[in-house]
Amino acid sequence: MAEILTIAGREVKKLEVVVSDFGSYVGKTSERLVVKRQGKVVLQVPFHDLERVVIEGRGISISTDAVYKCMEAGIHIDFLTLSGEPIAKLSSPALGGTVLTRREQLLAMHDERGLHIARTIVEAKLRNQLNTMKYFAKSRKTAASEFYTLVREYSGLVDQLRSELAALEASNIDSVRTTMMNIEARGSRRYWELLAKLLEGRVNFPGREHRGATDETNMLLNYGYGVLYSRVWGAVLRAGLEPFAGYLHTDRPGKPSLVLDLTEEFRQPVVDRVVLAALIRGFTVKRDESGFLHPDTRRELVRRIGERLESRSLYDGRRFKLGTIIQRQARRLAAYLRGEAAYRPFICGW
């Protein structure tokens, strides 16, 4: 069935519609988006109240009238697989922003700006991974003193890796990308080891696996990252940036490198925190007959991520919703490329 999540903006509440049932139809009636199942209307939403449409899985159809209206209203349409992998995004070309932003984005690949952006993203990921472990360790100082001690040791490793990162010297990102990715990998390796320790005795976590994962933890993480990824893609487009021209991730046909870059700053605060908290509290993961996450489990995960995006974090001395921070960070990146502002990472609290 269709699932609606309330995504509150700063001034006007917007809705996100997720359609996941095989055989569903998404269309337009007057000024409303309509979702039908077996010929019966199950949902109607005025377009002016709509922020995003997510179509999940196969066997779902959408009318051109609905597509046209969404594009006119600046509403993105995202297509995901049942495992949460983004397949496509429809958005209006009018959301492309200024030409200057994209010109500077491409030029930055060959100067110190690209290096600064990549370094900043890696530092953000290292610190957010550490802060996520600190968040779960602070309530275990007495109950699980071994884990608390391991996190303190991990903090020392992150300090070392940040020093190595700061010491990198180059005129552009290409000459040090391999070294930078090695630094990131060393930090991530220890993070996933600690995550496994945190979940020990609760669920099986064999280590980080991407496509084709069969354990519940990785399946939840991968699905959650797909939801986050499509949200970041929308923020990148609204900021007038080119999704396929990144800095930390290399260019490849069909690979939205900049989306992947910016997603790195938000994996832990948006997805990992939600998945870990759910599993620690005994969240039941259901699967369908094909072994994928059951629609009920996917909907519940999307709901929890939606709530997390509604929660507030400190950003520029004020508290903003995480969903708003993602958009602000994309705009900050665009402003940095145009020479209008500094680019600083988003670091989550603990």
Helices (H), the chain: 64-72, 99-107, 112-137, 145-167, 177-199, 216-238, 257-263, 273-280, 295-310, 322-337
Question: How confident is the model at residue 141, as a pLDDT?
Answer: 62
The span from the CA of 287 to the CA of 265, in Å, is 30
φ and ψ of 123, to 5 deg: -60, -45
Question: How confident is the model at residue 89, as a pLDDT?
Answer: 83
8 Å CB contact between 230 and 86? yes
Where the chain has pLDDT below 70, the residues are 1-13, 94-97, 140-144
Q: What is the pTM of this model?
A: 0.80
Which letter does DSSP use for residue 173 in this model?
Answer: G
Question: How confident is the model at residue 94, as a pLDDT?
Answer: 64
**Distances in Å between the alpha carbon of 247 and those of 28, 75, 80, 116, 287?**
40, 28, 25, 9, 37
The span from the CA of 52 to the CA of 65, in Å, is 16
Question: How confident is the model at residue 4, as a pLDDT?
Answer: 37
What is the residue whose two structure tokens read 């908290």?
A: 277
The span from the CA of 82 to the CA of 119, in Å, is 33
Phi-psi region of 279 (alpha: psi -120 to 50; beta: other; left: phi over 0): alpha
Nearest to 55 by CA among 78, 36, 82: 78
